């Protein structure tokens, strides 16, 4: 009889604990969901405020993301407190496991450190067109872990920050002015002065070429089957590809008008008649 009564008491106590724990879990999940929305709202507010104050877009994206993750981190610590877990004890645990965590996340920590260095030294910013980490494209976002690119064929690529900061970074849009180089080879029989005049006339027929710095024609070398030239002109970085195509087209048209050929590589084969008779 007493054993049955104790069993009933234990079941009642367990059910009450289960209900209380379920309420805590539901409350924690609801709290985390609200914190997720609040974090997203904080990110939008920080981004909007920094945009109004004309802060650089790269830095504004980084600070907005940092604000969001700070809210989420505080929410996780608060949710743990709902279950009676003393969050202050985490400092000792983290200190004891610091070496293991550092070794386990050395790649992640390297990406974070590289992302911070990219923001500090600023070799490029959002909307710059760069070649880094084996990717050639426009920078969309510089995050804590990765840098996001959009390529010319409209592909989105995510590259770890450590690969970018640890390698060579080529920023094609860093300067407002960029040089266009068009290589061309001409016949050996063509007069050098005439060829130079024709190529200079081709530069003058192209829109978008700047007068300062002054364009010029450079004699590169005496090649195996042609005399090699380089036609060099300067244009705005934003309109780089149009003058480049127009200059290539103008060079071909002007050489054709002047009757100056552009030879192709060729090989002369001489056959020995004695070998053919044998």
- Comparing 96-100, 113-117, 207-211, the range with the smallest average pLDDT is 96-100
User: pLDDT > 90: what percent of the chain?
Assistant: 45
Contact 135, 149 (CB under 8 A): yes
Alpha-carbon gap, residue 193 to 196, rounded angstroms: 5
Contact 32, 76 (CB under 8 A): yes
Q: Which long-range contacts (CB under 8 A, 24 or more apart) does 243-250 make?
A: 243/180, 243/206, 243/207, 243/208, 243/209, 244/180, 244/182, 246/206, 246/207, 246/208, 247/180, 247/182, 247/202, 247/203, 247/206, 247/209, 248/182, 250/202, 250/203, 250/205, 250/206
* Distance, C-alpha 218 to centroid of its chain: 34
Alpha-carbon gap, residue 11 to 4, rounded angstroms: 11
Higher model confidence: residue 276 or residue 59? 59
Q: Is the pLDDT of residue 99 over 60?
A: no
Q: Strands across the sheet with 216-222, in order?
A: 177-186, 227-236, 216-222
- Comparing 134-138, 141-145, 150-154, 250-254, the range with the smallest average pLDDT is 141-145
Q: Is the pLDDT of residue 6 over 60?
A: no
Helix-strand-coil split of the chain, %, nearest 5? 55, 20, 25
- What integer pLDDT is reported at residue 2 of this predicted model? 47
Q: For the purposes of burial, counting CB atoms within 10 Å of the CB of 196, is it exposed (0-12), middle (13-18) or buried (19 or more)?
A: middle
- What integer pLDDT is reported at residue 5 of this predicted model? 47
- Tell me what the pLDDT averaged over the chain comes to: 83
- What integer pLDDT is reported at residue 62 of this predicted model? 77
- What integer pLDDT is reported at residue 267 of this predicted model? 64
- Two tokens at 202? 């081709």
- What integer pLDDT is reported at residue 131 of this predicted model? 96
pLDDT tens for residues 246-265?
999 999 999 999 999 988 76
Higher model confidence: residue 32 or residue 257? 257
- What integer pLDDT is reported at residue 116 of this predicted model? 85
- What integer pLDDT is reported at residue 143 of this predicted model? 85
Neighbours of 64 (CB within 10 A): 19
- Two tokens at 65? 């993301």
Alpha-carbon gap, residue 169 to 171, rounded angstroms: 6
Contact 170, 178 (CB under 8 A): no
- Two tokens at 245? 């195509």
How would residue 273 be classed by pLDDT, with cut points 50, 70 and 90?
Answer: low
pLDDT tens for residues 44-73?
888 888 777 766 676 777 778 888 888 887
Average pLDDT of the residues in 100-112: 66
Query: What letter does residue 183 receive in the DSSP assignment?
Result: E
User: pLDDT > 70: what percent of the chain?
Assistant: 77
């Amino acid at each position: 009889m007493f054993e049955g009564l104790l069993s009933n008491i234990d079941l009642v106590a367990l059910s009450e604990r289960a209900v209380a724990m379920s309420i805590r879990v539901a409350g924690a999940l609801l709290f985390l969901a609200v914190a997720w929305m609040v974090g997203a709202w904080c990110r939008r507010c920080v981004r909007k405020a920094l945009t109004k104050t004309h802060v650089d877009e790269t830095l504004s994206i980084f600070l907005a993301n940092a604000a969001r993750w700070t809210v989420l981190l505080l929410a996780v610590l608060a949710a743990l407190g709902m279950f009676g877990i003393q969050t202050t004890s985490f400092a000792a645990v983290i200190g004891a496991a610091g070496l293991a965590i550092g070794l386990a996340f050395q790649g992640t920590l390297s990406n974070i450190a590289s992302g911070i260095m990219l923001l500090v030294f600023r070799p490029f910013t959002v909307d710059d067109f760069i070649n880094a980490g084996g990717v050639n494209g426009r920078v969309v976002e510089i995050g804590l872990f990765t840098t996001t690119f959009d390529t010319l064929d409209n592909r989105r690529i995510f590259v770890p920050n450590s690969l970018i900061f640890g390698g060579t970074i080529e920023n094609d849009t860093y300067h407002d002015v960029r040089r266009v180089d068009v290589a061309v080879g001409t016949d050996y029989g063509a007069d050098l002065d005439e060829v130079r005049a024709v190529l200079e006339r081709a530069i003058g027929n192209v829109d978008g070429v700047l007068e300062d710095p002054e364009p010029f024609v450079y004699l590169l070398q005496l090649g195996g089957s042609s005399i090699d030239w380089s036609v060099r002109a300067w244009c705005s970085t934003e309109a780089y590809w149009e003058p480049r195509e127009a200059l290539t087209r103008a060079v071909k048209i002007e050489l054709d008008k002047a009757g100056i050929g552009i030879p192709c590589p060729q090989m002369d084969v001489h056959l020995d008649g004695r070998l053919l008779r044998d």
